[in-house]
Structure 1
């Protein structure tokens, strides 16, 4: 090459060649100073050239001979400076992004030229030339410096190249990654970040791809393709091209179904499709995390071949990874294309499943969200915001939020869909989860200047945001405040005023605004998430009166929004009472009884509102003010008769309404009137329906009527079939409240032999035992189940039917009852004591007599010891002896309780151990320290308890030793009874005092 150049220019004199080289050097210096990339490197290079230019000018001033060695040196120098000039010119004219991507090669070429020029300087025959020593030293030093010169790409450039390489290796398809990378590139090369400028740079880069080499091949065409593919993911890329590429791929797949993964895609260790496949030294491929864990656990054998492997060798299987990604993308494209028709015309459950699938796809990759946008999903998702199903609306909002967050274009697409912003604002007024999603979506949309103005035109949204500002949800309040601040089209004074007065602007519009505005405000109140404090303040600020006016409006749609708002606000009991006071009951019942009303939903909401009003009458405040929902028997009859004429939702509301009224101050009147209306007959029928909610509320109301009902009503309507139904509910229901109510009905049924026998025949005893022993949890309703079950048991433990007693005892229930004396509620303990008392009443007749032994038996064996009370052989199962059951101690402990009913029941059980004919029971009580607790009952506030205590002491003091030991303790309470109580009680007290020989000592006992 050098020889060719020399021969071609050998006719040119050296002086002229030197002049050409000086000019080329000058041009190269000028060009190097204008290069915008690698500035520091080109600056250093131009400094070298400035020095060369000086040296060459010095040589031109000499009288040079045409020596061959000088000619060769100048020729090489001229050639290398031209190469450097070409490099600088290309770095000024080619794509800045292209040059950045190839910065390492640019640096390499520049460094090579510098060294070649330095080497050419060493060839100048300075010794043969008449030059100064100083010039010789300059040439020598410059040559040395250039030969040692090293150039490096800037740290920022190296960082960008690393990001590019990582993106290519990871096959990163994330738009955010590409946008971030392009932003770094624009800063590094000094180009504008405007999308139009960035788009222009990418287009230039594509043109560079046509000629992917510089002067000596700086870029590889394949690499260029990869870089362009990566940067094309950025927003600056022409969307039409992206869409064209997507549909090209999608259409090439046709209408195929997703493919199953190939066997090679599965990791042999995890058996799942691999994400980061790596190859080991055994040439087997595994998921990186799985094989690393295998090695970390100390294994140095291949998991498949079990041959030793080099654990430090893990080579990424890029080909397999690419195949897996292509398979995933293929299937995702097919899925995205096939979901949309289901969302447009599918069944509700199918739509929800498809939305879940679409949401997962959108979450997985940003690229997938691009595909969703290209498939025109945005109008479909906007349409779903009007769906009845709340879950469908929430899924649609979340997906729209992800799409809006991706790009400005998507924000504008969403806002351009007809009624899109109105639909989003409507969700803003719904329950808190949906409201927060709608708020986040609106906030994201407001970050677009174009969309921001459109949001400001949606009616009523400001008031909704103000309402959210006052919510307990701090995050939602912050988002609402930021959204209000973003909406610069609004008068800030209006916003501040709205914040300060909170709901007052909304209520003012509700009261006096145009009809369409009033409807929007009522709908807002019906759907917005409100705290109890908010609900209370809304009524206090005057919302009830205009809502009642809307309720009486002739327009059906007005009635609907008014009822919906009243329903939403009435579930606060204080508001319910206010509605009753201000006359809401009449219009509501008028709508409920309007059978010609076309809207079933409206009647259901009316019934639910009436239910809220009924619940409010259980407040103490209602009792004090004598606030009633229904007063006349006619009103009660009309409402209850609807149960047989309506669907499950209204039935449920009416049943809860009556159940609430049965807890209200007028509950006894309500219960009596219901029984007169044969409500029991209807409730018996409803206990058999399949609708669980209706059945449960029917059972609960039935229980209320049974608590203080008359025997005649229940004997008339409760038959064997009803008994079997109640037991089936107890045995099969998963609702503890329903089980407790059904068991409560059985507890309160008349104690009639035929009913009891039906219960026994239907297996009630075993059912009760299961309720008492089946590992129930310590919750209120489970405690109610136990309490009612023990109450129901009392009807089967009566001493007049020892056959039933035996059947109960055979279940092993007596020890359970003893345990309940300790752990049960007051009512449970009382009924457990009653059952034990009834069992104990049979113990004397069931206790087996002691065997009589021969004359020599006493000499040969230890005498048998029988029961000290029943004087025979007693067991828990055979004679139901409460001593054998260890019930005495807990029964005595119950004597000290504050509840008179529990004390009386325990005393009754204890009294079964003593009578006038047997002294052993009293001695047993004395040994168990029961006498003093019994004496203390003389001071009870219950006359019945005092009376039974007097009877007990009369029996106990028949034993002289007990009279002496405890007589003094009983004396003063007995004297007080003898002085203050009625004649019957005085007589009983006198008998006991006579036993204590105290009657004759005092003359004033009966004064």
Structure 2
């Protein structure tokens, strides 16, 4: 028991020191952050007394302290996340950040309720302090801070064109994004967020646009300062503001090698290549599906950028090749990660006790999430086979850590092959079928990531993933449903998987998502229907679900992409099915399609045009009626 006491109490003291050493809050929820740090620090005397005392702790005491230790670890994750990553992302998702503080506060309060500190041999003043802190955790409630209300208001106003610079300055000050260095760091955070996940949609570009306004505002202030200072100012010759058309929409930096994607949008080559390598099949700016991934050099824009650089005394961006030649050399430097620490974690994965394996898998999960260099380093160190082995662990938390670590590692393109070669697909599918809800959802996301490689689509479908994904589509959390939907869509690009999805009963859940406009899954539901409607069995199954009214409504009121997909499904259903065609006409589809023909996307216009031709044929006289008229 003595060793266990030392390990638990020592771990609690380490957690308190880690929290105490965290910097002042540089993001939102400043009061919540400060309160959580202060209260955790106030618990330190209890652990100091237990460490120095000779009292043996029983099973009840150790269990309570172990729960508290886990709660502290959760608190550290939340506190660190507020000071790292994108400040704008946190602001746009304030409610989620606040909820995390509330949840971890509840977790600590529940753990303190399980700690029988009345049994501890500690001074009275320490006992009273602990009781006071416990009471504070009990009373802590989720409430909106006054400053955050102002932040939310400013955030909405700041997205309007011609916004008052005072609003931008107030908002950038609140978010600690006033200096060029902070803004560049934020740009990198948004860039990594965009590359790591395509599920944030338009929010990425709202954040990028707002960051650009912050940068322009900061630059303008600098120019005004230079003008006031005159010849004395050392800042007189600042770089001019980069025109928006010359910035990459992903990185917000001046483009050095602009290329055009199939939607007509232009991006910096390295940025869009990373986006595509991460498994995305959409245009980042428009969210339209890329019909092909060919990148066409934009020579005209490149020439304009070169002229602008010459005219404004800006150093021309270095050519793409000069950066690429340095890449092989990065491996020897462990690419910016602590290889020694990773090797220690791998040793615990391979030879440690179950609790050590669980903790090591959790550490690797966080490291792999943090940045691209870690993902390379962890895979190179040989972690993937060890993590795959832990997928079959009987401990649910270990299983969750292992599958999520593999998900984070799979963001790197070369790691996808290593994961598949380690025999991971059947084990990931097994987790998808039998794991905890968190493990199932992250397994779905991992399968989506791996299915970016075409041959993996076949293997994943053959391993029995699709029925389990359909179940998750029906049972999962909103995030889990999205992960399941994107995985099913991607797998269904392979024809054989379409039949599997239909056999698994996918049409019912998808139609439910389509009809639930408030569920946030209309985009995904329509995309799945559009790809399955091209399959004979899929077309028949969709037709039995009586989808025409909702499809016509989406074609009338939906987003451009959803209107396009709705028109595509309508065309598939109505081609060769007179009853479906008549139903669509009866509820007013014709006028909606005429409007779509005028202002829809190119694909929507094509589908609308062919559908309108089908309607015209309904009015055309049949050959027999023409003969009757001729005889008359």
TM-score tier after normalising by the smaller chain length: 0.3 to 0.5
Question: Radius of gyration: which is bigger?
Answer: 1
Instruction: State the TM-score, normalized to the length of structure 2.
Output: 0.46
Instruction: State the TM-score, normalized to the length of structure 1.
Output: 0.30
